[in-house]
Amino acid sequence: MKMTFRWYGEGDSIPLSFIRQIPGMTGVVTAVYDIPVGEVWPLEKILRLRSLCQAQGLEMEVIESVPVHEDIKLGCPTRDRYIENYAKTIENLGQAGVRCVCYNFMPVFDWLRTDLHTPRPDGSNALSYCHEALMGLDPHDLHLPGWDESYTQDQLEALLQAYSGMSHETLFDNLVYFLNGILPACDRANIHMAIHPDDPPWDMFGLPRIITGPDSYRRLFEAVPNPHNGITLCTGSLGASRDNDMVAMAASLASRTYFAHLRQIRFSGERDFCECGHQTREGSLDMYGIVKALVDHGFDGYVRPDHGRNIWGEDGKPGYGLYDRALGACYLTGLFEAAEAERAGRTGSTRGTRSTLGSS
Ligand code: DNO
């Protein structure tokens, strides 16, 4: 596996020079942030990002995300142009050495939380989700913490109208249409697509969500068997549903998992949770069980720590400060070292954690 760290480009308050100092770090996960959704990412912009990373000895092999235009999710007649653009972006990314692209297929809203600064007993604070509080919000007048409010009220209203009544089947068909449109480019560029699950994994405000549990993946791989069609296993997203057994899912999905977001949550109600430190004892998910299941089933992709708490006085971008994610990365690297050593001992395999910055 390769340990990576999300970096929000030149606007990120965390410099690459700090990220490289996290032991075991091989690269960053980033994106071009100043191109409107649906337009082609110019090769020069991608290469510039890569050279900034390389100057700090960091790889840039994973992109999170290349966003999918709503017209594609809606299945509008205009989608073919956006799919063509997406394919062109994939080709440009391939030329820059990118190997994996994370994306999601959630209508209108990406991840949702109801509080970004929930105080924890140890004096830190973290993101949390309360289902009742979310259900009490009016989707037509939303001011969600952390949500990118890039839509005007009118645009949001029009989008909600356009989606109204859309079934899960139609959204799924639109995903398949999208994948079939871009996979030839992925094959040429040798890029793995890694769909991020819906966070949290249930319908929101009447909008369908389709990447929520084991059945979603069964259906997805049946419909699009091309091995470049893969997933981002996000434990914090999928794990928020008590129906999802994350250790079993890690085992059964390992071979199609190209990117793993390994994040811990602690349940505080049936559908309520608070984010917490990555360690197993901090929350409700068995992190070692998940890592071991991935390793034992042949996972050899990219990993990143996910949302961290604000600790040690840091007031970072919600979920994306430096300190707690760095602690998470070190913890996860240790879990992988142990699981890979154990597996090698059992199978006589020489495969292990790939070389890191320190090897050169
Ligand atoms: C939240 C992230 C998501 C993720 C996208 C992938 O912290 O995990 O925003 O980047 O859903 O497309």
SS (H, E, C) 243-277: CCCHHHHHHHHHHHEEEEEECCEEECCCCCEEECC
Q: How far is CA 136 from the centre of its chain?
A: 27
d(CA 48, CA 297): 36
Distance 33 CA to ligand 1 centre (A): 14
Look at residues 28, 40, 18 and name the one whose alpha carbon lies nearest to residue 91: 40
Token pair for residue 122? Answer: 């140890």
Distance CA 336, CA 66 (A): 28
CB of residue 196 inside a 6 A radius of ligand 1: yes
Instruction: Give per-residue pLDDT as tens, 86-98.
Output: 999 999 999 999 9
Confidence class for position 350, pLDDT limits 50, 70, 90: low
Counting ligand 1 atoms within 8 A of each CB, the residue from 5, 63, 65 with the most, and so the one to mutate, is: 65
Ligand 1 pocket, residue 110 CB under 6 Å: yes
Concatenating the DSSP letter of every residue in 289-333 gives HHHHHHHHTT--SEEEE----B-TT--PSTT--SHHHHHHHHHHH
The 10s digit of each residue's pLDDT in 220-240 is 999 999 999 999 999 999 999
Residue 286, pLDDT above cutoff 60: yes
pLDDT at 357 over 50: no
In whole angstroms, what is the distance from residue 34 CA to residue 227 CA? 30
Determine the average pLDDT of the residues in 132-140: 86
76 phi/psi in degrees, rounded to 5: -70, 160
Residue 358 has pLDDT above 70, yes or no: no
CATH code linked to domain 2-359: 3.20.20.150
Of the pLDDT bands very low, low, confident and very high (cuts 50, 70, 90), residue 141 is confident
Residue 276 corresponds to which tokens in the numbers above?
A: 């917490």
pLDDT in tens, 161-218: 999 999 999 999 999 999 999 999 999 999 999 999 999 999 999 899 999 999 999 9
Q: Is the pLDDT of residue 146 over 90?
A: no
Average pLDDT, the chain: 94
Query: Is residue 308 within 6 Å of ligand 1 at its C-beta?
Result: no
CA distance 215 to 42: 37
Nearest-CA residue for ligand 1 atom 2 is: 111
- Residue 144 is predicted with a pLDDT of 66
Average pLDDT over residues 143-151: 65
Rounded alpha-carbon distances, angstroms, from residue 244 to 111, 205, 213: 18, 22, 6
Q: Distance, CA 150 to ligand 1 centroid (Å)?
A: 16
Q: Is it the case that residue 156 has pLDDT exceeding 70?
A: yes
Number of residues written out for the chain: 360
Q: Where are the domains of the chain?
A: 2-359
Residues marked active site are found at 196, 234, 261, 306-307, 320
Please state the pTM of the whole predicted model. Answer: 0.95
Task: Name the residue type at position 121.
Answer: P
Predicted confidence band at 270 (pLDDT cuts at 50, 70, 90)? very high
CA of 309 to the centre of ligand 1 (A): 16
Look at the block and give the residue holding tokens 């059945």: 215
DSSP β-bridge partners for residue 126: 118
Place of tokens 């999802």: 244
Percent of the chain at pLDDT > 90 equals 87
User: Which atom of ligand 1 sits closest to the CA of residue 110?
Assistant: 11
In which band, very low, low, confident or very high, does the pLDDT at 138 lie, cut at 50, 70 and 90?
confident
Residue type for 35, please? I
Instruction: Please classify residue 322 by burial: count the beta carbons closer than 10 Å to its beta carbon, then call 0-12 exposed, 13-18 middle and 19+ buried.
Output: buried
pLDDT category, 347, cuts 50, 70, 90?
A: confident
Please name which of 196, 305, 306 lies closest in space to residue 258, comparing C-alpha atoms: 196
Q: Band of the pLDDT at 287, cuts 50, 70, 90?
A: very high
Query: pLDDT confidence of 26, banded at 50, 70, 90?
Result: very high
* Residue 264 Cβ contacting ligand 1 at under 6 Å: no
Tell me, in angstroms, the distance from the centre of ligand 1 to residue 276's CA: 17
**CA 245 to CA 298: how far, in whole Å?**
19
Number of other residues whose CB lies within 10 A of the CB of residue 271? 17
Q: Which residue has a Cα nearest atom 3 of ligand 1?
A: 111
pLDDT given for residue 188 in this prediction: 98
The single-letter code of the amino acid at 95 is Q
pLDDT for residue 224:
98
First to last CA, the chain: 18
pLDDT at 359: 39
Q: Among 178, 175, 136, 142, which Cα is nearest to 157's?
A: 142
**167: which 2 tokens?**
């079934």
The pLDDT, as a whole number, for residue 39 is: 98
Residue 298 tokens read as: 């042949």
Which is nearest to 35 in space by CA: 88, 95, 99? 88
Range of weakest confidence among 69-73, 135-139, 193-197:
135-139
Q: Is 64 in the pocket of ligand 1 (CB under 6 A)?
A: yes
Distance 297 CA to ligand 1 centre (A): 25
Predicted pLDDT at 143: 66
Pairing of strands 229-234, 192-195: parallel
- For residue 60 and ligand 1, the question of a CB distance below 6 A is answered with no
